[in-house]
Amino acid sequence: MTTETSQPYQERFFAARDGLRLHARDYRPAIRGDIQDDTRAPVVCLPGLSRNARDFHQFACAIADEPGRRVVALDYRGRGRSEEDANKANYTLAVECADVETALDALGIDSAVFVGTSRGGLILHLLAAAAPHRLKGVVLNDIGPVIEPKGLQEIAAYLNRPQTPGNWEEATVILRGTHSAAFPALSQADWQDMAQAIYVERGGAIVADFDPAIARQLLAADLTKPLPDLWAQFDAFRPFPVLAIRGEHSSLLSPETLAAMARRHPGLATFTARGQGHAPILHKPDVLAAIRDFLRTV
């Protein structure tokens, strides 16, 4: 199902393998009258744990602009405009990886360049191991095969902190108060855009746009112990061009892990997003330029 909008994208809805209704934004050059027979691989964007397709709006508009490349941004189950899952045990990397493959089939995408932010990058580790034919190239945004427990503890803390903004201005203030130390590069407009991406107005209230059960899963996990690594899955990226982005102040992806990734994948390109933490905003000029350069190679 496709819904037309006045925006530079189409709302796409489709069914997961278990029937759950999923959503994606489809930024297609043809919508703006650009060349329609673009043969380059589309770009598929996978958001972080509690985030959604709106995170990629400015980035997608920039990449889908002249000379034009199709960009798709997904909402995982329980986030954004995708349905919440009654079975909360389905909020797993394996299920969400299967949902990504379902989305590709529903949208007529055989293979793509993937941009995975945080959890999106973890899903890409699984996808590379299970279905490498789907990949043309990979951008890992502040994520790698080793996750620092401290960073995950910080995510668990702020996702489970009761914060209900009374209006959009308060939503911006909450985000800036929580994250500004790690993101000195962000402007007031960036914080406002982030609020619009993270929160949604529902039933007269402004709430975070994800199933709260997703945050509660982190509280149930023992984050004091080292997490299982994904080096075996990371090795599946070797045949493909990979750009690894790290936020300068990231607490989730360490410089040591990034260096080890470069040793393990000799063709891996790296970029540090100055003045940003976890996870970098991709449409900031320096980050966007690095990704544009990378896309010219795939």
Within a domain: 220: no
Q: Which of these, 258, 261, 270, lies nearest to 236 by C-alpha position?
A: 261
Average pLDDT of the residues of the chain: 93
The per-residue pLDDT for range 148-199, each reduced to its tens digit, is 999 999 999 889 887 789 999 999 999 999 999 999 999 999 999 999 999 9
The predicted pLDDT at position 31 comes to 47
Radius of gyration, CA atoms only, the chain = 18
The per-residue pLDDT for range 95-127, each reduced to its tens digit, is 999 999 999 999 999 999 999 999 999 999 999
Name the more confident of 119 and 204.
119
Q: What domain range includes position 259?
A: 2-148+228-295
The per-residue pLDDT for range 227-282, each reduced to its tens digit, is 899 999 999 999 999 999 999 999 999 999 999 999 999 999 999 999 999 999 99
Cβ contacts of 270 within 8 Å, gap of 6 or more: 243, 244, 245, 246, 258, 261, 262
Residue 65 has pLDDT above 90, yes or no: no
The predicted pLDDT at position 35 comes to 47
- Cβ-count burial of 26 within 10 angstroms (0-12 exposed, 13-18 middle, 19+ buried)? buried
| Mean pLDDT to the nearest integer, 67-79 | 94
Residue 34 has pLDDT above 60, yes or no: no
Residue 221 has pLDDT above 90, yes or no: no
The predicted pLDDT at position 163 comes to 78
Within a domain: 118: yes
Within a domain: 89: yes
The predicted pLDDT at position 140 comes to 98
The predicted pLDDT at position 1 comes to 56
Within a domain: 49: yes
What's the structural domain count of the chain?
1
Within a domain: 183: no
Name the more confident of 226 and 63.
63
Give the CATH number of the domain where residue 9 resides: 3.40.50.1820
**Per-residue pLDDT band at 22 (split at 50, 70, 90):** very high
Within a domain: 93: yes
Within a domain: 233: yes
Residue 6 has pLDDT above 90, yes or no: no
Within a domain: 103: yes
Which residue has tokens 């990226």? 237
